[in-house]
Structure 1
Amino acid sequence: MLDDSERKIHRILHNYSVGRGRFPSMQELMIKTTGKSEKDITDTLISLEDKLFIIWDDKRQVESIKLLQGWEQQLRSEAFKPSDNLDYWTKY
């Protein structure tokens, strides 16, 4: 499971890649994360890479990142949990 800063940067990367067709620069990440330092962002990106959410071959350029997962697996499975509406009749 991702911590808050990992989740925020991961969502920024995903939204940029989908909406703009590119990844944000380090400067854009610093703005979007409300003033996080370059070192904090770099550490978070390395942590995302360690957890297999991204691949970051060229550590000098944020734009070289490749997303491996668009969201957390745990959240995806909870969000799309099938329901038979039995809860409505038994709990309410």
Structure 2
Amino acid sequence: MLDDTPRKLLRILYHFSSHYKRMPTLSELGRLSGRSNIKIREGMQTLAEQNYIEWNRKMPVEKAVIIEDWERPDPSAKQQGEGQIHQQTRTTGNTDYWLYY
């Protein structure tokens, strides 16, 4: 599970690159995230260590390549709906809508 800054940076990187077809610069990441340059570089390093992006610390941030564009689910969290009883509902189709409304 990612901390706040790396998660925010990953979302910004993904949306920025899909919208503008390029990676944001360090100053653009600072403006969009509200984080300092040091925090951005630490967050980028965290993303690189956890294999969300490919990025070398010595390279500019716009040289990063996104490997995984969304945060992985937390394996320790319970599965949604686990332990709940599900009722079978009868599906009538959409004819009721057209006949009775």
Range class of TM-score, shorter chain:
0.7 to 0.9
SS at match of 1:74: coil
Aligned CA distance change for structure 1 residues 58 and 6 (closer, same or farther; 3 Å): closer
Identity of aligned residues (%): 31
Structure with a larger share of its residues in helix: 1
Q: Superposition RMSD on alpha carbons, in Å?
A: 2.3
Unpaired runs of 5+ in structure 2? 75-79, 90-101
Give the alignment's TM-score, normalised by structure 1.
0.76
Higher Cα Rg: structure 1 or 2?
Answer: 2
Give the alignment's TM-score, normalised by structure 2.
0.70
Q: CA deviation at 1:87?
A: 3.3
Any idea what the Cα deviations from partners look like across 1:59-82, whole Å, max 9, x if unmatched? 33111000010102217xxxxx8x
Any idea what the Cα deviations from partners look like across 1:10-41, whole Å, max 9, x if unmatched? 0000001111101100000000112x111110
- How many pairs were matched up? 80
Q: 1:78 is matched with which residue?
A: none
Q: Does 1:49 align with 2:48?
A: yes
> Which portions of structure 1, spanning 4 or more consecutive aligned residues, are displaced by more than 2 angstroms?
57-60, 86-90
Contact kept, 8 Å, 1:48 with 1:54, in 2: the verdict is yes
